Chains A and B, each alone.
Chain A
């Protein structure tokens, strides 16, 4: 018996992916192609936040830590250690997941604002560390790091804009499908339960510390995967990859799209990122527009766009006893 409200989403997602698939053929220019490519990666990153902060209810204000860990691992391992990119990408994913396990273990006994505070502190500590840290290349004696960042060496021919676009789109579709599968799994049910009421979850036999840790690990692994993609596309890791702005962006996308819905944050990240980057609005203006989008959404869609629509759909399914059965 299917009880999840995600029933029709794969079809709509496939239709949206179809439009995006045909978009480059419509003669879109290289700049917009690049904006959309990064938008796909940011969308996966927003979805990864929603695993932790939406589904599992562990509001993370330092989610960029996992993203930055992956970009820096790619940069350091390819530029300094001379590893091939695929190997460095694998190591970066492992590192992000391990960071997720560590943060999840530290935050597991904490609740609500204390989880937000801990993640904020850890994310900012990493940001400050990499902002001031310089790395010396043994080959050539280059000095890298700080605001200038570290290059990511892909070796061989870089991907063409088309190839990068389609790779990122495939990554987004695959990741979203995976996140929805996880949301509908037993693990996703436990995360939603502990997000709603830790007390009832514990009384129902849910080992909340174990499941909180798992949520952080899965969210961090996906944020790391987005970071690897970002490192490959941009070709550089900078301290901004750990920035507070990036962490707050993820939380904003989730609030606008609908926390705990996966699709909502993914779509809101894709739309907002593409609109604001594509129109060339300066960073300060972008922050104001993000805030405006948040205010408007919370006024008309208190649970985020997808969250409020889901609630309305659920309300329609409520049938009074004796007046037929709901489905």
Chain B
């Protein structure tokens, strides 16, 4: 599987706090990679750097073999990297349909490159809203949506232009069982039908086991473990190693 994305030697500090310490992560074409780790481990910072929201201090981002480290988030979206946010930030003055239309209009080049120009914009918009379960709320102001619908809207925006890579940051958190099942189903079908790659950030090991080809655990700004989703149970967080040592010392004492 050739690399679609390669984040190489990514280092990032905020003041004296070193959040990422030389992380290297690859995502193959059509691969679903899970990013797992405790709060503050650097998962979202890595997603922010890959999506172009913030620049790395050191390291580079290669997408389809091209160095995109210095490009902006909007340029990366147009190039085929899209993302969702952990806390959705909808447009208060736009309706659901208008919110998705913004992404569809901006992503024209990416869509054309994917041979999607034959399908009309409005037809595509409607089918997208039907698939994400937002069709009946398409004229609602985005700011008045429930948490579950906001996640669906984030998802619809992110997949609107059929990107090559989607970064999903805790997209399944705070969802009802029904919402979660529907989004999981949509993600699977997009992966199967369109070969879209996903980088899935989640706290939930069950979701990662269910959806991912590979899981990467990140702790204290470093890749700490990498393996098959089925082996996730074998992963022991670094904090537990430390506790283990302390327990051992107490026992010895």
Using a CB–CB cutoff of 8 Å, the interface residues on chain A facing chain B are: 1, 3, 186, 189-190, 192-193, 195-197, 199-208, 260, 311, 314-315, 317-322, 325-327
- In the complex, B98 has a CB within 8 A of chain A: yes
Q: Which of B98, B106, B137, B161 is A321 in contact with, Cβ under 8 Å? A: B137
- In the complex, B157 has a CB within 8 A of chain A: yes
Q: Are B74 and A202 in contact (CB under 8 A)?
A: yes
8 additional A-B residue pairs with CB within 8 Å, beyond A192-B93, A202-B77, A321-B136: A199-B53, A200-B99, A200-B157, A202-B73, A205-B103, A207-B75, A208-B74, A327-B139
Docked Cα-Cα span, A201 to B73, in Å, equals: 10
Q: Which of A195, A204, A260 is B157 in contact with, Cβ under 8 Å? A: A204
Q: Are A196 and B74 in contact (CB under 8 A)?
A: no
Q: Are A192 and B91 in contact (CB under 8 A)?
A: yes
Q: Which of A186, A196, A206, A317 is B93 in contact with, Cβ under 8 Å? A: A196
In the complex, the chain B residue whose C-beta lies closest to that of A323 is: B136
Q: Are A193 and B139 in contact (CB under 8 A)?
A: no
Residues of A within 8 A of B73 (CB): 202-203
Q: Are A189 and B83 in contact (CB under 8 A)?
A: no
Q: Are A204 and B144 in contact (CB under 8 A)?
A: no
A-B contact pairs, 13 of them (CB 8 A): A3-B139, A189-B101, A190-B102, A193-B99, A196-B93, A202-B53, A203-B157, A204-B107, A205-B74, A314-B139, A317-B139, A318-B137, A326-B138
In the complex, the chain B residue whose C-beta lies closest to that of A200 is: B89
Q: Which of B77, B83, B91 is A196 in contact with, Cβ under 8 Å? A: B91
Q: Are B91 and A322 in contact (CB under 8 A)?
A: no
Within 8 A of A (CB), among B111-162: 122, 136-141, 144, 157-158, 161
- In the complex, B72 has a CB within 8 A of chain A: yes
Within 8 A of A (CB), among B55-102: 72-75, 77-78, 82-83, 85, 88-95, 97-99, 101-102
Q: Are A325 and B136 in contact (CB under 8 A)?
A: yes
- In the complex, B105 has a CB within 8 A of chain A: yes
* Shortest distance from the beta carbon of A298 to any chain B beta carbon, whole Å: 17
* Shortest distance from the beta carbon of A215 to any chain B beta carbon, whole Å: 15
Q: Which of A1, A186, A199, A203 is B77 in contact with, Cβ under 8 Å? A: A203
Residues of A within 8 A of B202 (CB): none
Q: Are B98 and A189 in contact (CB under 8 A)?
A: yes
In the complex, the chain A residue whose C-beta lies closest to that of B79 is: A205
Q: Are A319 and B89 in contact (CB under 8 A)?
A: no
In the complex, the chain B residue whose C-beta lies closest to that of A201 is: B102
Residues of B within 8 A of A317 (CB): 139-140
Taking A203-B77, A208-B74 as contacts, is the C-beta distance between A318 and B139 under 8 angstroms?
A: yes
Docked Cα-Cα span, A195 to B88, in Å, equals: 16
Residues of A within 8 A of B140 (CB): 314, 317-318, 326
- In the complex, B11 has a CB within 8 A of chain A: no
Docked Cα-Cα span, A325 to B134, in Å, equals: 12
Residues of A within 8 A of B83 (CB): 203
* Shortest distance from the beta carbon of A263 to any chain B beta carbon, whole Å: 15
- In the complex, B51 has a CB within 8 A of chain A: yes
* Shortest distance from the beta carbon of A255 to any chain B beta carbon, whole Å: 15
Total contacts A-B at CB 8 Å: 110
Q: Which of B75, B95, B103, B141 is A204 in contact with, Cβ under 8 Å? A: B103
8 closest Cβ pairs, A-B complex: A205-B106, A196-B91, A205-B77, A204-B103, A321-B136, A326-B139, A202-B73, A197-B89
In the complex, the chain A residue whose C-beta lies closest to that of B161 is: A205
Q: Are B102 and A199 in contact (CB under 8 A)?
A: no
Q: Are A206 and B97 in contact (CB under 8 A)?
A: no
In the complex, the chain B residue whose C-beta lies closest to that of A196 is: B91
Residues of A within 8 A of B99 (CB): 193, 200
Q: Are A186 and B95 in contact (CB under 8 A)?
A: no
Residues of B within 8 A of A320 (CB): 136
Docked Cα-Cα span, A243 to B170, in Å, equals: 50
Residues of B within 8 A of A203 (CB): 51, 53, 73-74, 77, 82-83, 85, 157-158
Docked Cα-Cα span, A319 to B137, in Å, equals: 7
Residues of A within 8 A of B82 (CB): 203
* Shortest distance from the beta carbon of A222 to any chain B beta carbon, whole Å: 21
* Shortest distance from the beta carbon of B110 to any chain A beta carbon, whole Å: 8
In the complex, the chain B residue whose C-beta lies closest to that of A192 is: B93
In the complex, the chain A residue whose C-beta lies closest to that of B158 is: A203
Docked Cα-Cα span, A326 to B134, in Å, equals: 12
Residues of B within 8 A of A206 (CB): 74, 102, 106
Residues of A within 8 A of B107 (CB): 204-205
* Shortest distance from the beta carbon of A80 to any chain B beta carbon, whole Å: 45
* Shortest distance from the beta carbon of B8 to any chain A beta carbon, whole Å: 23
Docked Cα-Cα span, A204 to B159, in Å, equals: 10
Q: Are A322 and B139 in contact (CB under 8 A)?
A: no
Q: Which of B75, B85, B89, B98 is A3 in contact with, Cβ under 8 Å? A: B98
